Amino acid sequence: KGWAVFHCRGCWTVLGDSLHLCAQDQRLSILVCYKVTNDVVWEDSLMVGLEGALLGCAHYILSCRSCGLIVGFILYSAPRDLAYLRGCFSFFKDKILCYLLQNQTIIEASRVNFPAVTLKE
């Protein structure tokens, strides 16, 4: 129930879907997927977070192949409390829109409550 497709906020390109959703983090305001479409690209170069929740975390930046909007990150190294996100695709909720298949509506990702899923266990 309640399947959703994740679209780039900049150009509406499909980036992923809730079938591959594996975690949500309210503090980081992200949706985490283990699989995304070919329209999600990342650079080979590692970035290091200099502020905020990703301070000191090495990560790759995810962007939309169609319009270039930065839509999230892949954590490479992180402190223990974020280690469960390593290697997954983390979308910033404010950079994606959700198309809800059940009622064919488009909604801000930050306003969607998906059933609890977590990689922490």
Contact criterion met (CB below 8 Å) for 90 and 26: no
Q: What are 60-103's pLDDT values in tens digits?
A: 999 999 999 999 999 999 988 899 999 999 999 999 999 999 88
Domains assigned to the chain = 4-111 (2.170.150.20)
pLDDT in tens, 3-45: 899 999 999 999 999 999 988 888 889 999 999 999 999 988 9
User: Does residue 118 have a pLDDT over 70?
Assistant: no
